[in-house]
Chains A and B, each alone.
Chain A
Amino acid sequence: MRDRALLLLYLGAIVAATFVHDPARLAAALAAVLLASGRRAPRVLARASRAAAPFAAAVSLGWLAASWWEQRPAGAALLRLNLRVLLMTSLTFALAARLDLQRALGFSRTLRFALVLTVSQVLTFRRLHADFRLALLSRSPRRVSTAASLRHGAAAGAWFLRRAEHDAAEIAQALDARGFFLDRR
């Protein structure tokens, strides 16, 4: 229940943040989010800045250059844009630390199982992908050539696609063996 309320509160805050255009209010809201995060505030702010930085920096620099070229002020628009981005991204990280997504989506049994299956499969695949990368690294004394890197990416991609077919069948059998489908017919 708590998790669902938290998710709804978060979604409401996200939508609200796109209707506020006064930089002072955006800054106040950002401060409120950080205050609410308590001791986690520095981490929330750091992660939010890191996540938004590449895109936000490219857009900001571009806008700055364009404004200078056309000789118009850029400050207010830039401040508003970046405060809003930081506010919304901080909201997400503040939420991510507290939200149990499985519980928030617990109103649907199927959705919850789908999510758990997906997350554990994602984590497994992520680990395997790291192994693929490390294996290539350990076998290449020099910088990997473009061709080898492409072949490696393709082999990894194909391996995951093939493994997906196999895993899906195996998980289905495991679900069946454990009586998952007993109440579905």
Chain B
Amino acid sequence: MIDVERLDHAYDGAATLRDVSFRLGAGEKAVLLGCNGCGKSTLLKILAGLVHPLSGGYRYDGRTVDAASLRDASFRRRFRAEVGLLFQRSDAMLFNPTVRDEIAFGPRQHGLDDAEARVVRWATALGVAELLDRAPWTLSAGQKQMVCLASLLVLEPRLLLLDEPTAALDPRSTGWLVDFLQDLDQTLLVTTHNLSLAPELGPRCLVLGEDHALLHDGGADGLAGNLDLLRRANLVHGHRHRHGDREHRHDHTHDWD
């Protein structure tokens, strides 16, 4: 479904992605793991056709996605309906007077005639049904996140790109979201810098290194044991530990966020 080949990208001369290649089949669920600033968000924006790479190619469903192909109105319409991106900062996505309008925006924009029914269905599924008449900017960070997710799912996209979806969530909501995502039929690519969450989010794991290149593409399960890889990706660290009067040092993660 997604075919990414030798992507390079840079902002103002500083590399953000280096020679990244991978494929994602329809219905596959994968996690994109990497430390802050390694290029995760940029990669998602490229996959959503919002930012274009300096070199390399990106094909969606066999069709090249670039500025030229997105100028084709019918492809653009189809691509925007089928690919949903949840921004890391949910504020960026909210611009309607009420939650109801916010969720209905996509269906209306795409001319679907069952917008109202869809809004109610997805607002209920994401637990924001009682917020429908509130203004989005009055909500908590976690609620905003759920409204944004509902605004994407309401279009029933084929590919869902989620940028750090658990960052604003408390532990209970995080657990709920993990289960919810597993039950979706969509092709899913989720970014996180939370190592212990990675295997929960998908069976396959892509790791972006600090050098903005893809370090690992494979199963998520064995990853926790590969300390050398994790250290290179800046996903584990070491510091002194005190247990009573004993002190020692080992590599580990801190990921309760």
Whether A and B touch directly in their complex, counting CB atoms under 8 A apart, is answered as yes
A174 to B50, CA, bound (A): 9
Q: Which of chain A's residues have a CB closer than 8 A to the CB of B89?
A: 170
Query: Would A113 and B137 count as touching, CB distance under 8 A?
Result: no
Can you offer 14 A-B residue contacts whose CB atoms are under 8 A? A103-B97, A116-B95, A116-B137, A117-B95, A120-B94, A167-B92, A173-B50, A174-B92, A174-B93, A177-B83, A177-B87, A178-B93, A178-B151, A179-B80
Kindly identify, within residues 70 to 97 of chain B, every residue whose CB is under 8 Å from any CB belonging to chain A: 73, 76-77, 80-81, 83-85, 87, 89, 91-97
Q: Which of chain B's residues have a CB closer than 8 A to the CB of A103?
A: 97
Q: Which of chain B's residues have a CB closer than 8 A to the CB of A167?
A: 92
Q: Which of chain A's residues have a CB closer than 8 A to the CB of B105?
A: 178-180
Q: Which residues of A contact B (CB under 8 A)?
A: 102-103, 112-113, 116-117, 119-121, 123-124, 167, 170-171, 173-180, 182-183, 185
The 9 closest A-B pairs by CB, nearest first: A120-B137, A179-B109, A174-B92, A179-B80, A173-B50, A174-B93, A102-B97, A170-B92, A117-B95
Query: Would A179 and B87 count as touching, CB distance under 8 A?
Result: no
Q: Tell me whether chain A's interface is mostly helix, strand or loop, or mixed.
A: helix
Residue B63 is within 8 A (CB to CB) of chain A in the complex: no
Kindly identify, within residues 15 to 74 of chain B, every residue whose CB is under 8 Å from any CB belonging to chain A: 45, 48, 50-51, 73
Which chain B residue lies CB-closest to A122? Answer: B137
A177 to B137, CA, bound (A): 20
A120 contacts which of B83, B95, B151 (Cβ < 8 Å)? Answer: B95
B80 contacts which of A102, A113, A120, A182 (Cβ < 8 Å)? Answer: A182
Residue B110 is within 8 A (CB to CB) of chain A in the complex: yes
Query: Would B77 and A182 count as touching, CB distance under 8 A?
Result: yes
The total number of A-B Cβ pairs within 8 Å is 70
Q: Which of chain B's residues have a CB closer than 8 A to the CB of A171?
A: 92, 95
Query: Would A112 and B97 count as touching, CB distance under 8 A?
Result: yes
Per-residue A-contact encoding for B140-151, CB less than 8 Å = 1, 0 else: 000000000001
A116 contacts which of B48, B51, B97 (Cβ < 8 Å)? Answer: B97
Report the minimal beta-carbon distance from A74 to chain B, rounded to whole angstroms.
47
Query: Would B50 and A183 count as touching, CB distance under 8 A?
Result: no
Q: Which residues of B contact A (CB under 8 A)?
A: 45, 48, 50-51, 73, 76-77, 80-81, 83-85, 87, 89, 91-97, 105-106, 109-110, 135-137, 151-152
Report the minimal beta-carbon distance from A109 to chain B, rounded to whole angstroms.
11
> With A123-B137, A182-B80 known to touch, is A175 a contact of B95 (CB < 8 Å)?
yes
Report the minimal beta-carbon distance from B176 to chain A, rounded to whole angstroms.
24
B91 contacts which of A124, A177, A178, A185 (Cβ < 8 Å)? Answer: A124
Report the minimal beta-carbon distance from A138 to chain B, rounded to whole angstroms.
22
Which chain A residue lies CB-closest to B109? Answer: A179
A137 to B80, CA, bound (A): 46
